[in-house]
């Protein structure tokens, strides 16, 4: 019966499996590439720290001291990463986030430190937002009744951009989701002569549960939530609209954040704009994989590369990921 069935079954004319038979063939015809220069490493630097502090919800990620930050920056440059994104954690916070504007504040000092050490080899980026610096944890200044004041916040963002530019940053990343933030920052930078400082706009940043571990990473003081200014996870077209507005206002790159739950938005934005698109592989995505791997449920290293490749496949030109350094080492094997 088996011989009769086999004899009656036509042989396949097209055999896609031919191109999967060896590692060399699979590499030759791979549709999506993942390379170190496409990866950006987000790092946290804590004011007053004398040594790195572990972040319990993000195994392997730390709050850096200024000296350990430089070691991480040197490693990133040696591995050929595309950039490093700096987040500052101040010792003191207030209602208006004044530490964000202080030239001697932790983020501005970290920018100068890193640029002075590896600025020729690595794109130095800065998170331009107030949430790490405010005692209420929101991304802007508040009205007397507790709402985030969009237009007053734009004024602070413009000042913050100038502080980062004066510190030597290559690229600022406004992440607060204020209407008009890119235009306000671009105008301030240009008027001050910082025409070459680029803007990576967090254009489609969603009010996501996957930011949870990040709250610990930056010692967040958030009261309430950010649903009135971050995007509703139900909306994809809105993400494209935000990206188009940011491009019109002068953004050099646009970002979708988070990445994994919003790969469809990454693709839509990639198809809609003519500037590079970034995606942020956020803390919750990182922690979920690490937790599963720690229990032996998945192959950790394969899963890391598969996750990052999926973000690239969706259309991201640049991926911000806490695995950037490790991924570069894995790719070099």
Please report, for the domain that includes residue 307, its CATH number: 3.20.20.70
Report the C-alpha gap between 123 and 115 in whole angstroms. Answer: 9
Question: How are beta strands 198-205 and 83-89 bridged, if at all?
Answer: unpaired
Inter-CA distances, 38 with 84, 87, 147, 182, 308, Å: 11, 20, 37, 23, 10
Report the C-alpha gap between 119 and 113 in whole angstroms. Answer: 9
DSSP letter assigned to residue 210: G
Q: What is the pTM of this model?
A: 0.94
Residues contacting residue 288 through CB under 8 Å, at least 6 positions apart: none
Q: Nearest 5°: phi and psi at 240? A: -65, -40
Domains in the chain: how many in total? 1
Inter-CA distances, 148 with 72, 173, 180, 188, 226, Å: 35, 19, 14, 21, 9
Is there a domain that residue 259 lies in?
Answer: yes
Cβ-based neighbour number of residue 217 at 10 Å: 24
Is there a domain that residue 307 lies in?
Answer: yes
Is there a domain that residue 20 lies in?
Answer: no
Catalytic entry in 46, 257, 270, 312: 257
Tell me, what's the pLDDT at 5? 55
Q: Alpha-carbon torsion 62, 68, 70, 75, what sign? A: negative
**Residue carrying the six token digits 């671009």:** 186
Alpha carbons within 13 angstroms on the beta-carbon side of residue 278 total: 30
Containing structural domain, residue 137: 34-331
Sites in the chain below the pLDDT cut of 50: 1
The 10s digit of each residue's pLDDT in 182-215 is 999 999 999 999 999 999 999 999 999 998 888 8
CA–chain centroid gap for 211, Å, is: 12
Is there a domain that residue 241 lies in?
Answer: yes
Catalytic entry in 138, 186, 205, 226: 205
Phi-psi map region of 124: left, alpha, beta (phi>0 left; psi -120 to 50 alpha) = beta
Tell me, what's the pLDDT at 41? 98
Is there a domain that residue 321 lies in?
Answer: yes
Is there a domain that residue 27 lies in?
Answer: no
93 is catalytic: no
Is there a domain that residue 295 lies in?
Answer: yes
Question: How are beta strands 39-46 and 318-321 bridged, if at all?
Answer: parallel
Is there a domain that residue 11 lies in?
Answer: no
Q: Nearest 5°: phi and psi at 312? A: -65, -45
């Amino acid at each position: 019966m088996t011989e009769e069935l086999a004899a009656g079954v036509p042989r396949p004319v097209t055999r896609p499996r031919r191109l999967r038979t060896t590692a060399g063939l699979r590499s030759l015809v791979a549709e999506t590439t993942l390379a170190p220069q496409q990866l950006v490493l987000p790092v946290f630097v804590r004011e007053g720290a004398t040594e790195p502090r572990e972040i319990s919800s993000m195994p392997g990620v730390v709050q850096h001291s200024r000296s350990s930050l430089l070691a991480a920056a040197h490693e990133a440059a040696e591995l050929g990463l595309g950039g490093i994104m700096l987040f500052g954690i101040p010792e003191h916070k207030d209602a208006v986030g004044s530490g964000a504007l202080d030239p001697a504040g932790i983020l501005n000092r970290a920018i100068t430190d890193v640029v002075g050490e590896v600025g020729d080899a690595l794109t130095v980026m800065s998170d331009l937002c107030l949430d790490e610096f405010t005692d209420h944890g929101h991304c802007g200044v508040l009205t007397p009744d507790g709402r985030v004041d969009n237009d007053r916040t734009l004024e602070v963002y413009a000042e913050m951009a100038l502080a980062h530019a004066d510190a030597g940053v290559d690229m600022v990343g406004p992440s607060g989701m204020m209407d008009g933030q890119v235009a306000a920052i671009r105008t301030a930078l240009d008027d001050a002569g910082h025409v070459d400082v680029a803007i990576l706009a967090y254009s489609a940043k969603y009010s996501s549960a996957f930011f949870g571990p990040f709250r610990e990473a930056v010692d967040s003081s958030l009261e309430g939530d950010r649903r009135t200014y971050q995007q509703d996870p139900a909306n994809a077209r809105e993400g494209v609209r935000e990206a188009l507005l940011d491009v019109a206002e002068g953004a050099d790159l646009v970002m979708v954040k988070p990445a994994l739950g919003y790969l469809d938005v990454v693709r839509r934005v990639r198809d809609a704009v003519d500037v590079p698109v970034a995606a942020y592989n956020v803390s919750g995505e990182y922690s979920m994989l690490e937790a599963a791997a720690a229990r032996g449920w998945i192959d950790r290293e394969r899963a890391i590369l598969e996750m990052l490749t999926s973000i690239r496949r969706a259309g991201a030109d640049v991926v911000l990921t806490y695995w950037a350094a490790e991924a570069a080492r894995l790719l070099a094997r």
